[in-house]
Amino acid sequence: MTTLTAVADPTAMSAVTAPPLPTATERTGARTDEAAALIGDSRERIDALDDRIIGLIQERMAVSAVIQEARISSGGRRVNLAREMEVLGHYRDALGKPGTALAMTMLELCRGRV
């Protein structure tokens, strides 16, 4: 049985170059550097807001688990549909029809964590 061993040519490695990074205008789709800078800064702010929103939803999930545990241990049901309808209405009133879908997703995340 013959075993082949590959030996890397150190001179061949120097010929490999990474592709160029996209410019700010290419990353943002903007047509000017000024617009690209504004978009980049705004995206950083959105990313920070998203992190805060995720943290708040996780906090809401924890509080919801406490409520569910108290309700179940007292002989109640895991979900209070009347309360969920209040939450859905609140989001719909504040954000319109898409708010209802957002609230449904949030409520789904908060159910059954006990």
Residues 22, 18: Cα–Cα separation, whole Å = 12
Cα distances (Å, whole numbers) of residue 24 to 50, 66, 102? 22, 46, 32
pLDDT tens track for 32-49: 889 999 999 999 999 999
Whole-model pTM over 0.75: no
pLDDT tens track for 46-96: 999 999 999 999 999 999 999 999 999 999 998 999 999 999 999 999 999
